[in-house]
Structure 1
Amino acid sequence: MNPALEYIDNAPEPYRSIMLHLQVVIEAHFPELQLKYKWSLPFYYIGDKTMFCFLNYRKTFVDLGMTHAIELSNKHQALVAGEGRKMLRSLRFKTVDDIDDEILIETLEELMLLRKSKMKK
């Protein structure tokens, strides 16, 4: 089995359910992304080399971390910095009910535009 899928499947509840929901939404709206395993975490990539986002469960939440997200508008005020991160921001969820699919998709769409514009440079 893919180590990224194993990470999700082996996570304790409620983190497993949260990550499965995020996986379904991400893969339904961004079919071009590739799920890989990097630094012991499931990472979504644009193509083979451009990191997009990752899933990580912590003691009390699931972190959907996004590379270069410091440049996002954060119009919903949902992005969290934390832990001395300079370029990363994340959406954090304690339960599946915490996930607002509209905010999730809008945030990831903005991130996709940003990452693709950086790939052209």
Structure 2
Amino acid sequence: MNPAEEYILEQQEPFKSILLQLQTIIEAVVPDVEMLYKWRIPVFYSKGISICYLNQSKDYVDFAFWHRKQIDKYQEHFVLSNRKSVASLRYKSVDDIQDDVIVYVLQEQLRINTSPYAVIGKSRIKKK
């Protein structure tokens, strides 16, 4: 078992069930997805580019992703928490998960298909 799987399976309920449900949706939507353990949390990659990550924090699970400014729908669901480039959807129970929102966000991340670090880096480069 890899460390990302261990992370999910070691969580207390209801967080373990939330994480497993989100993992299932991600794996169903993202072709050739790879779940790695980075920053001590599960991070999902497609073609070497990070798509999203999962993090159990306090009393919720964060489904976090980059490129939020390029996503048109469901903005009212996003939690920004003073972040510049990452947004998340937060879940306190499996019943809170809305598959259509997650599927849309994942499809948009795949459409954008750019390394979040490249986008962040480009915004910091000053033009002369």
What is the TM-score of this pair, normalised by structure 2? Answer: 0.84
Structure 2 residue aligned with 1:109, among 107, 110, 118? Answer: 107
> Is the Cα contact below 8 Å between 1:56 and 1:62 reproduced in 2?
yes
4+ residue runs over 3 A deviation: none
- The one-letter amino acid of 2:31's match is P
Paired position in structure 1 for 2:122? none
Task: Give identity over the alignment, percent.
Answer: 38
- State the alpha-carbon separation in 2 of the partners of residues 68 and 29 from structure 1: 18
| Distance apart, 1:76 and its partner CA | 5.2
Query: Unpaired segments of 5 or more residues in structure 2?
Result: 120-128
Structure of higher CA gyration radius: 2
1:104, distance to aligned residue in structure 2 (A):
1.1
Q: Distance in 2 between matches of 1:86 and 1:74?
A: 19
* Structure 1: stretches of 5+ with no match in the other structure: none
Alignment correspondent of 1:64 = 63
- Whether contact under 8 Å (1:70, 1:88) holds in the other structure is no
User: Which of 71, 83, 86 is equivalent to 1:85?
Assistant: 83
Aligned pairs, number:
116
After superposition, the CA RMSD in angstroms is: 1.6
TM superposition score normalised by structure 1: 0.88
Which stretch has the larger CA shift, 38-47 or 63-72?
Answer: 63-72
